[in-house]
Amino acid sequence: MRHDFIVSEAARVPAGSRLLEIGAGQGALSTRLALRHDYLGLELDAESAIAAGRRLAALGRGRLVHGDLSSLGPADTFDVVCAFEVLEHMADDAETLRAWRARLRPGGLLLLSVPAHQHRFGPWDTAVGHYRRYGREQLTDLLHAQGFTDVRLHMYGFPLGYLLETARDAIAARRRAPDSRESPEEATARSGRSLQPRSWMGAATRVATSPFRMLQRPFAGTALGTGMVASARRT
């Protein structure tokens, strides 16, 4: 549901631009971004990194590193820094944004997605290691405070996202053990592998969601939806 907005925002920078994706997961977006940009992905989870690396290898473009920002050279910067469903996993989101900003060239584009509306925080958020969800004003103010400008927000997921979130919450509530001691970090490590569709389902998923992706577009500037795609420039 968020892919259309992500791809259109990434197209705001010239083809061939250096693009860093933090938290590539199993590479669901990696191959789309690598088709147009000089792509580098970082992923902490070893199993997910292997899956994403295989996708990029099959495409013949981009590369994937099993590691975090410390895996890069100290002066390594990019035209675009992406992080999809990552910021909500960070205990200190302000510090995280400053670290991402340091990897952007002046005028570079930050592109991210986050779950929306704290009142929707539920069993699924806990199960995958989320600390919070975001409102439009909250995210805008946070980005401005960390040295970003030209903030653009797109809500996504109305109305299909509500059904999907309800289903995920129900699944997470059934799976959760009463005495579970899993930390947010441990939950985050496996979050990129949770409820992932098989590769062969890609075409069917695109067809099935097509009317809902079109339906959500008129609501992108409202508060309706389950998530946000945001972009901002480094000042």
Expressed as residue numbers, the domain containing 141 is: 3-234
Count the residues in the chain: 235
pLDDT value of position 207: 86
Average per-residue pLDDT in the chain?
92
pLDDT value of position 163: 96
Q: What percent of the chain clears pLDDT 70, i.e. is strictly above it? A: 93
Q: pLDDT by residue (tens digit) across 92-128? A: 999 999 999 999 999 999 999 999 999 999 999 999 9
Distance CA(43)–CA(26), nearest Å, equals: 9
Distance CA(217)–CA(213), nearest Å, equals: 7
pLDDT value of position 178: 46
Residue 135, both tokens = 């409102």
Give the pTM: 0.91
Q: What's the start-to-end Cα distance of the chain, in Å?
A: 29
Residue 166, both tokens = 């309800």
CA-wise closest residue to 42 among 69, 62, 60, 61? 69
For 217, which DSSP code?
Answer: G
143: Cβ contacts below 8 Å, ≥ 6 apart: 97, 110, 151, 230, 232
Number of domains observed in the structure of the chain: 1
Q: Which residues of the chain have pLDDT under 70?
A: 176-181, 190, 192-193, 195-200
CATH number at residue 217: 3.40.50.150
